[in-house]
Structure 1
Amino acid sequence: MRYFVIDCSIKLKLITFLSDGNMYSGEKLGRILGISRAAVNKHISQLKEWGLNIHSMPSQGYILLTPIQLLDSVMILSKLNNPSISIINIVDSTNQYLLERIDILQSGDTCIAEYQQAGRGRRGRQWFSPFGANLYLSMYWRLDQGPESVVGLSLVVSVILAEVLWKIGITDIRVKWPNDIYLYDRKVGGILVELIGATGDTAKIVIGIGINISMYTSNNLLINQNWINLDAAGIQINRNELAAQLINHLRYSLYQFEQQGFNAFIKRWLKLDNFINRPVKLLLANQEVYGISRGIDRQGRLLLEQANGKIKSWVSGDISLRIQQKD
């Protein structure tokens, strides 16, 4: 299913005004935009549905309580080694945007968006994507070696993302098998790798990344696990700078993955593994498996030491990893 927005120009103008954190009366906004105060109020209500923390004060107007930093295409492009990027306000999902254009893309082509109407995560789950609060980014990559060469890719992307966050000062960042980023034992980002290509064919890959930067916390009910924002680390995050650094590092490291494979990233993963040597449980479709996480093997499979002392490897799929809670 595809999603369309007929005309969001007025909403986008409202966001631009409110993003400075000042109070605006409905009358003033209506006068600037050429619409009625009732129309302003209707648009504000819809912006709240987009996840914006807008407070309405009787007789005073509207204020955005949680400031946002809008994407700046000029700034991002000025820092990229390769300008092949689409910067979009509203999209169904950044992954879907690239998938619909996959036959004309080159490795490294990227899409980032302010807001996803139908963001998705692993196993078809919804990825809540409030406007301007986080980073929603997808990149295309082509592997001529075929789908078999994609082994470990989601783990590689996790390492790349964590290393970029380390460089900007978030040194408590960690990775979670098989495709998440953690901060203080809570999810701060996720990765979705979508592959097109049969055995023997070229692998066409879209890599989606979502990173919580300063998400408004009243939306907890829309998220199915404990989460956290990057700004909880006490470091001011420049969303445009982060986007540019991540794109450059992804392009460089994915080329390295293409040439050297997953082995070049195993030690880097283990250094960042949030769960290594900790008691965990795997949640499968109809059972729970308990043990001690012992890292990953050369195929990117999770190594779990069970009660009998034996270590068994587990592949990705319908498996989730959680810290085993103490009784």
Structure 2
Amino acid sequence: MSIPGQLLRLLNLLADGRFHSGTELARLISVSRSAVWKHLRALDELGIELLAVSGKGYRLQRPLQLLDSEHIAGLLAPRARSLISQLEIHPALASTNGYLSALAQQTPATGRVCLAEYQSAGKGRRGRGWVSPFGHNVYLSVLWRYQSGPGALAGLSLALGVAVVRALSRAGISEVGLKWPNDIYWRGRKLAGILIEVSGESSGPCHAVIGLGLNLYLPPAQAEAIDQAWVDLIQIMGEDIMSSRNRLVALLLNEMLPVIADFEHLTLQGFIDEWRKLDCMLGEAVNVYIGEQAFAGMVRGIDEQGMLLLEDPQGKLRAFASGEVSFRST
């Protein structure tokens, strides 16, 4: 999917959150008033909330800070900057993971970072969609190549969960926890998710596309499609967080990129103690779904390999390498 240049110019004008008349907008982007109206309707379809007031014009419900590669690069730590071969920002993609997965088949690139303002087919786990309205959240993917095979990357999602919590802590966000294997929670509600797609020979080399979706603001109309408890940063921090979007991306890259680059050597052992302190499922009653099968029990943490430990009603401990976990009432 692409977004017309006139629509992007309109967005840049409206990003300040102030009122602009239809006549002013039409003049500045060199279109008719009726074309402005069509563009404004298109913004609504992208998940951008507009306020129209007679005599004053149009403004966004809240200002936007659009992503800017130079702004982000200027905030990167030296190590993170050295690990990026290219940082690209797209107005719209089907998905950032999908874009880099296709790129990985065409070039030997590594260290590619891709961000999008909007995803028309954002990816969640197990084929689910990821709600991706324009300009409100973080949709971020990294392409990295490893000399070892996929087996050497076991536990990478857990390590990256720790990295994301570190970044959020640097942004002043507390009470964040981790839900096995790749979700970031705040007070029992999902704030972010990690999706890692690995391709390559079993004995190596391989490449991984690491995706992160983080909720800064989910408009109510888009949030209706989410079938689990969720939260966004506006609810946690207030609306000022929307003016720190580029800084937040830089904080995430500063923490995530060294973990991605060094994981073959560090392995999960470098992160497991910190992950356990952040475990928001420990002692909780859950169901673990493997295909059509459901296993009920109490979470007893993770083992040294990062497998989920579940105690069944008979007191037997079972380890899961993968699965879908949902909280349940006791």
- TM-score, normalised relative to structure 1: 0.92
**1:306 is matched by which residue type in structure 2?**
D
**1:96 is matched by which residue type in structure 2?**
G
Aligned residue among 22, 37, 40 for 2:36 = 40
> Partner residue of 1:308?
314
> Partner residue of 2:92?
90
Query: Per the alignment, do residues 107 and 258 of structure 1 end up closer, same or farther by CA in structure 2, a change over 3 Å counting?
Result: farther
Structure 1 unmatched runs, 5+? none
> Partner residue of 2:289?
283
CA contact (8 A) 1:66 1:216 kept: no
CA contact (8 A) 1:71 1:239 kept: yes
1:290 CA displacement:
1.9
> Partner residue of 1:229?
232
> Partner residue of 1:324?
328
Counterpart-to-counterpart distance in 2, 1:287 and 1:57: 54
> Partner residue of 2:17?
21
1:193 CA displacement:
0.6
1:184 paired to 2:187: yes
Q: Secondary structure at the match of 2:288?
A: strand
Residues 1-327 of structure 1 aligned to structure 2 (within 5 Å)? 4-5=1-2, 8-80=4-76, 81=78, 82=81, 84-102=86-104, 103-234=106-237, 236-237=240-241, 238-316=244-322, 319-326=323-330
CA contact (8 A) 1:176 1:273 kept: yes
Structure 2 unmatched runs, 5+? none
1:325 CA displacement:
1.7
1:272 CA displacement:
0.7
CA contact (8 A) 1:157 1:250 kept: yes
Counterpart-to-counterpart distance in 2, 1:118 and 1:255: 28
1:198 CA displacement:
2.3
1:264 CA displacement:
1.6
1:108 CA displacement:
2.6
1:136 CA displacement:
0.7
CA contact (8 A) 2:136 2:218 kept: yes
Counterpart-to-counterpart distance in 1, 2:261 and 2:73: 20
Counterpart-to-counterpart distance in 2, 1:21 and 1:140: 35
Counterpart-to-counterpart distance in 2, 1:107 and 1:298: 29
CA contact (8 A) 1:191 1:208 kept: yes
**1:322 is matched by which residue type in structure 2?**
S
| RMSD after superposition | 1.7
1:20-57 CA distances to partner (integer Å, 9 max, x unpaired)? 11112222211222212211111111111111011233
1:280 CA displacement:
1.8
Counterpart-to-counterpart distance in 1, 2:54 and 2:245: 33
Counterpart-to-counterpart distance in 2, 1:166 and 1:294: 26
1:106 CA displacement:
4.1
1:219-248 CA distances to partner (integer Å, 9 max, x unpaired)? 222222221102322264311111112112
1:58-80 CA distances to partner (integer Å, 9 max, x unpaired)? 45432211322111222111122
**1:147 is matched by which residue type in structure 2?**
P
Q: Secondary structure at the match of 2:129?
A: coil
Counterpart-to-counterpart distance in 2, 1:52 and 1:310: 50
1:215 CA displacement:
2.1
Q: Secondary structure at the match of 1:138?
A: strand
**1:190 is matched by which residue type in structure 2?**
G
Q: Secondary structure at the match of 2:42?
A: helix
**1:124 is matched by which residue type in structure 2?**
G
**2:230 is matched by which residue type in structure 1?**
W
Q: Which has the higher contact order (CA 8 A, sep 6+)?
A: 2
Q: Secondary structure at the match of 2:71?
A: helix
Query: Per the alignment, do residues 210 and 33 of structure 1 end up closer, same or farther by CA in structure 2, a change over 3 Å counting?
Result: same
Counterpart-to-counterpart distance in 2, 1:118 and 1:258: 31
1:126 CA displacement:
1.2
Counterpart-to-counterpart distance in 2, 1:231 and 1:220: 14
Q: Secondary structure at the match of 1:204?
A: strand
